[in-house]
């Protein structure tokens, strides 16, 4: 029987592993389907992590030392994809691919989220080299420069507003003429002189060279007219997939409370409404989607697991 099963080895899962094992739990296993590190390992730079401002280091370099530190107190790593989690009585069962299962007293789910891709030409080629899904991380690279934002939902318009305080001009490209966002957000955006709404339009292509993105082509869907925007940055906000499938039972029903967007509802202690089940990082409600906050959540969840197990004994 595991004291704690941690699902996901990104900043939240690794930090939860550090706190639980350093805090004295002997039997903690982290299930991570790939190399630990999480989505930040796909980034060429790290922003917003206090104390760390070596921009020659990639996300992979940054997460390297986390693994060494987090495994040094006895955290075990199973490189296996978790299919689902269930609770019977006091215990959890973690079923991994292939059908094998593990029993655990507590579970911390830290499976993160995945920004959706829009599917235009050049999106994958220039992802991380001018095409971004994180304004908080990358907006500062375009200080006093124009940027394009793709999407017409709450995230796109909120991030466009954030970028408008950094960048010279923000061109919001949306495929319809009605926005999906809350009316007050749209009003706030419309009041900003340097945000320009380009409706009924899509990104036809992101183009560039070895140095990265050089510009975007925007196509008006009504006139077919293509406008070239020699911008240096493109931010894509076309939705997020919360990686919550492990929390669904065999009938597709969530085993704990989630909101309308599938984000797990937690309290300030990262507790779900199921005793012994905690979540941390991008998967939770109102996650700032930053490394520092995911790690903070992992620390809180790890400490809560220790208290929970002490109370069980
Ligand atoms: P993740 O990092 O998403 O980790 C989740 C882990 O769970 C993954 O490793 C995944 O393989 C694993 N997993 C998922 N499902 C399963 C399963 N069923 N079984 C086993 N394992 C599973 N933030 C910053 O603060 N600064 C930045 O500069 C920055 N830049 C970014 C650049 C890019 C390109 C991206 C995509 C994100 C960036 N972020 C940045 C955001 C940051 O990476 C995330 O907020 C953070 O990684 C979230 O951590 P997490 O541990 O919650 O989830
Ligand atoms: P979203 O609501 O799904 O919006 C995605 C936007 O991207 C839509 O405008 C959609 O266009 C567009 N889009 C999708 N695929 C596209 C493609 N391939 N090419 C071009 N455009 C594409 O996603 P979100 O904005 O990330 O929000 C997710 C959920 O979180 C929403 O329910 C939102 O309300 C919520 N949220 C709330 C807040 C808040 O309350 N403050 C903040 C952020 C997010 P269409 O409109 O034409 O479909």
Contact 234, 142 (CB under 8 A): no
Determine which of 18-27, 37-46, 249-258 has the lowest per-residue pLDDT on average: 37-46
**pLDDT value of residue 35:** 87
179 Cα: distance to centroid of ligand 2 (angstroms): 9
The two structure tokens encoding residue 184: 């007050």
Atom of ligand 1 nearest to the CA of 96: 19
Collect all residues with Cβ–Cβ distance below 8 Å to 106 and sequence separation of at least 6: 3, 4, 5, 92, 276, 277, 278, 305, 308, 309
Share of the chain above pLDDT 70, in %: 100
Residue 44's pLDDT band (boundaries 50, 70, 90)?
low
Alpha-carbon distances of 263 from 50, 134, 258, 259, rounded to whole Å: 26, 18, 5, 6
Q: Of all protein residues, whose CA lies closest to atom 19 belonging to ligand 2?
A: 118
Q: Residue 238: CB within 6 Å of ligand 2?
A: yes
Ligand closest to CA 204: 2
Ligand with the closest atom to the CA of 289: 1
> How far is the centre of ligand 2, averaged over its atoms, from the C-alpha of 73 (Å)?
41
Q: Cβ(153) to ligand 2 under 6 A?
A: yes
43 CB under 6 A from ligand 1?
yes
Which ligand sits nearest to residue 201's alpha carbon?
Answer: 2
Q: Which active-site residues does the annotation give?
A: 134, 137-138
The yes-or-no verdict on residue 43 having pLDDT over 80 is: no
- The pick from 40, 283, 284 for probing ligand 1's pocket by mutation, whose C-beta has the most ligand atoms within 8 angstroms, reads 40
Structure confidence at residue 110 as a pLDDT band (50, 70, 90): very high
**Mean pLDDT to the nearest integer, 225-238:** 92
pTM of the model: 0.84
Confidence of residue 54 (pLDDT cuts 50, 70, 90): confident
- What is the rounded average pLDDT for all residues in the chain? 94
163 phi, psi to nearest 5 deg = -65, -30
Indicate which atom in ligand 2 lies nearest the CA of residue 118. 18
Q: How confident is the model at residue 57 (pLDDT cuts 50, 70, 90)?
A: confident
- 172: pLDDT strictly greater than 80: yes
Output the CA 157–ligand 2 centroid distance in Å: 9
Residue 185 CA: nearest ligand 2 atom is 41
Query: 206 is written with which tokens?
Result: 């992101």
Residue range 79-97: mean pLDDT, rounded: 95
Q: What are the tens digits of pLDDT across the range 259-278?
A: 999 999 999 999 999 999 99
Give the pairing type, strands 212-220 and 201-209.
Answer: antiparallel
Considering only CA atoms, which of 112, 95, 87, 94 is closest in space to residue 275? 87
What per-residue confidence (pLDDT) applies to 250?
A: 84
Q: Is 17 in the pocket of ligand 1 (CB under 6 A)?
A: no
């Amino acid at each position: 029987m595991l004291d704690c099963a941690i699902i996901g080895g990104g900043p939240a899962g690794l930090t939860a592993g550090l706190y639980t094992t350093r805090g004295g739990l002997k039997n903690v296993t982290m299930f991570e389907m790939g190399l630990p590190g999480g989505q930040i390992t796909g980034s060429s730079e790290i922003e917003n992590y206090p104390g760390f401002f070596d921009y020659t280091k990639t996300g992979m370099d940054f997460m390297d030392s986390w693994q060494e530190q987090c495994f040094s107190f006895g955290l075990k790593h199973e490189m296996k994809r978790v299919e689902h989690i269930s609770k019977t009585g006091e215990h959890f069962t973690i079923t991994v691919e292939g059908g094998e299962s593990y029993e655990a007293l507590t579970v911390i789910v830290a499976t993160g989220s995945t920004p959706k891709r829009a599917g235009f030409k050049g999106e994958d080629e220039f992802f991380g080299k001018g095409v971004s899904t994180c304004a908080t991380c990358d907006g500062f690279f375009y200080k006093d420069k124009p940027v394009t934002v793709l999407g017409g939902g709450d995230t796109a318009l909120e991030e466009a507003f954030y970028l408008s305080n950094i960048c010279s001009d923000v061109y919001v490209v949306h495929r319809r003429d009605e926005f999906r966002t809350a009316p007050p957000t749209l009003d706030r955006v419309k009041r900003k002189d340097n945000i320009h709404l380009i409706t009924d339009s899509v990104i036809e292509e992101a183009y560039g060279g070895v140095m990265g993105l050089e510009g975007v082509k925007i196509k008006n869907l009504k006139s077919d007219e293509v406008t070239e925007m020699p911008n240096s940055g493109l931010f894509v906000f076309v939705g997020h997939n919360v990686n919550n499938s492990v929390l669904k039972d065999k009938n597709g029903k969530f085993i704990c409370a989630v909101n309308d967007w599938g984000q797990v509802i937690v309290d300030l202690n990262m507790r779900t409404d199921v005793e012994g089940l905690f979540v941390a990082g991008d998967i939770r409600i109102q996650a700032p989607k930053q490394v520092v906050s995911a790690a903070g959540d992992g620390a809180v969840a790890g400490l809560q697991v220790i208290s929970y197990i002490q109370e069980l004994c």
